[in-house]
Amino acid sequence: MRNKFIFNLKEKDDFFRKLVFFSEKYKHFCLLDSNSSENNVPDRYFEYDFICAFDAIETLSSCDNSILKVKNFHSKFNDWMFGYFSYDLKDEFFNLSSKGIDNLNSDHISFFIPKYVMLVKDNQLEVLTHKNKESITSLINQISNYNCNEQKINNINFKARESKNSYLQKINKIKLHIKRGDIYEINYCQEFFNDNILISAHNIFYHLNKSTKSPFASFLKNDKINLMGFSPERYLCKNNSKVISQPIKGTSRRSNDSVEDNYLFNNLLKSKKDISENIMIVDLVRNDLSITAKSGSVNVDKLCGVYSFSNVHQMISTISSELETGTHFTDVIKSSFPMGSMTGAPKKMALTLIDKFEENKRSIYSGSVGYITPDGDFDFNVVIRSLIYNYKRKYLSLSVGGAITSKSIPLKEYEECIIKAQPIFNAFNHVLDEK
């Protein structure tokens, strides 16, 4: 049983900044930020402004029987867990195997039980730990007085995993599969990377988080990977017996001109293509949730709502369900992962074609980062708009993608990918070479 201590923060934002830079002291660290004062998340389910966990007591990593290991690990320790489900966990669920390039070399799952859990709401800090109050007070003082070595982000040049022409050709090939009825929709992704670079991940996360203000931002460290995530999308949230999923399908750029921005908003709201994409994924999520839900409890709370973020407008739907009595939380994940918004429909065929056409393994991209409570509640994002860094290999990866349907125009799909990547490109002064 963890002890609970409450502290009042003089300045929440400054404490957040200190925490991010304080992370350089630890191998295992996870910070989840809702950017609550800035974002426009529909039907908000956030309990806290941000959550932070660090310094591992126990760790779990696996590439086989992974979901069973999560179940057993949670049952054994009955404690908070922070970490990720990699997209490549789908190999275990669907008996698939990607032959793509794998430079990130991440495990299918990676979780840790932290010594310290910090929950922040407004200016109140709640610390959950096995330590005594004296040691926690000392720790809070260390963080509050930490000397942040804040630096300007260095320029980084990204290489495209495939050429623009190759991307366009593949979209046309995928559309042939759609035309013949193999799939209705597929999420095709491409990677931009740098394979020989040293970075300060906490410094990059702090600066980009300030500019993107994403509602499911995440900074995760383990013994192999640093994730700097700026996701606008929730994969799955469980609160007691209620489960919520909020898939995104439909993206439009923002404009500094209010008239044009309003036009872009309304254009997305009325877009038949984007509505069609979103509804197909909603149907897939409804089916996934129904596997573990009480009969008749799956509900579409909001269909095709459009919400504005700092860099883009997004079309988001909210689907909920009530769990069947006795359902373990890992069953919900197993029946719905990977999330439909990052695969397509039907899911298994979409996964098979993704393995066929994409050049690299997705790794944590398209996977999920979040936490699990001692009671088996959880909240996980979708890892998109994110940088993934294997610091042992000095390999930095940025992947972007979008839904391909029969109505997709290849060039427009390519442009949508660039819109999604542009805030990160801009931060590093990267100029895209579209050869």
Average pLDDT taken over every residue of the chain: 94
Residue 118 has pLDDT above 70, yes or no: yes
Give the percent of the chain with pLDDT over 70.
97
pLDDT per residue as tens digits for the range 256-283: 999 999 999 999 999 998 999 899 999 9
pLDDT tens-digit map of 291-325: 999 999 999 999 999 998 878 899 999 999 999 99
pLDDT computed for residue 37 by the predictor: 56
Beta strands in 254-394 (DSSP E): 299-308, 312-322, 344-345, 368-372, 378-381, 386-390
Q: What percent of the chain is predicted at pLDDT more than 90?
A: 87
Match 């720790």 to its residue by tokens: 139
pLDDT at 42: 57
**pLDDT digits 0-9 by tens, 315-357:** 999 999 999 999 999 999 999 999 999 999 999 999 999 999 9
Angle at 41 between CA 40 and CA 47, to 5 degrees: 115
**Mean predicted confidence (pLDDT) in 132-151:** 94
Question: For residues 405 and 279, what is the distance between their CA atoms, to the nearest angstrom?
Answer: 12
C-alpha–C-alpha distance, residues 77 and 376, integer Å: 12
Question: How far are the Cα atoms of 115, 301, 322 from residue 327, in angstroms, in the given order?
Answer: 29, 22, 10
Please give the domain boundaries of the chain with CATH numbers for all domains: 3-144+153-427 (3.60.120.10)
Half-sphere exposure of residue 363, counting CA atoms within 13 Å on the CB side? 25
- In this predicted structure, the answer to whether residue 230 has a pLDDT above a threshold of 70 is yes
Mean pLDDT of the region 243-260: 93
Can you list the positions of beta strands (E) in 87-224? 109-121, 124-129, 159-160, 185-194, 216-221
Tens digits of residue pLDDT in 56-98: 999 999 999 999 999 999 999 999 999 999 999 999 999 998 8
Separation of alpha carbons 213 and 35, rounded Å: 6
Q: What is the tens place of the pLDDT at every residue in 369-409? A: 999 999 999 999 999 999 999 999 999 999 999 999 998 99
Contact, 34 vs 48, CB < 8 A?
Answer: yes
**Does the pLDDT at position 435 exceed 60?**
no
Supply the pLDDT for residue 194: 95
3-state helix, strand, coil in the chain (%, to 5): 35, 30, 35
- Extract long-range pairs of 65-68: CB within 8 Å, 24+ residues apart: 65/92, 66/92, 66/108, 66/109, 67/92, 67/93, 67/109, 67/330, 67/333, 67/334, 68/330
Cα separation of 126 and 138, whole Å? Answer: 15
The first and second tokens of residue 33, run together, are 């930020």
Residue 105 and residue 393 in contact, taking contact as beta carbons nearer than 8 Å: yes
Between CA 350 and CA 183 the distance in angstroms is: 7
Q: Which residue has the tokens 């409570």?
A: 373
pLDDT digits (tens, 9 = 90+) for 153-175: 889 999 999 999 999 999 999 99
Measured distance CA(360)–CA(67) in Å, rounded: 24
* 125 confidence band (pLDDT: 50, 70, 90): very high
Nearest partner of 392 among 245, 126, 159, 195, judged by Cα = 195
DSSP labels, 358-415: -SB--TTTTSEEEEE-TTS-EEEE---SEEEEETTTTEEEEEEEEEE-TT--HHHHHH
Please compute Rg for the chain using Cα positions.
21
Tell me the average pLDDT across 120-148. 95
CB 371 within 8 A of CB 32: yes
Question: What amino acid is encoded at 395 in this protein?
Answer: Y
Query: Which helix (H) or strand (E) element contains residue 231?
Result: strand 225-231
Identify the H or E element spanning 235: strand 234-239
Rounded to whole angstroms, how far apart are CA atoms 109 and 62? 6
pLDDT value, residue 257: 95
DSSP 6-26: EEE-S-HHHHHHHHHHHGGG-
What is the pLDDT, as a whole number, of residue 432?
73
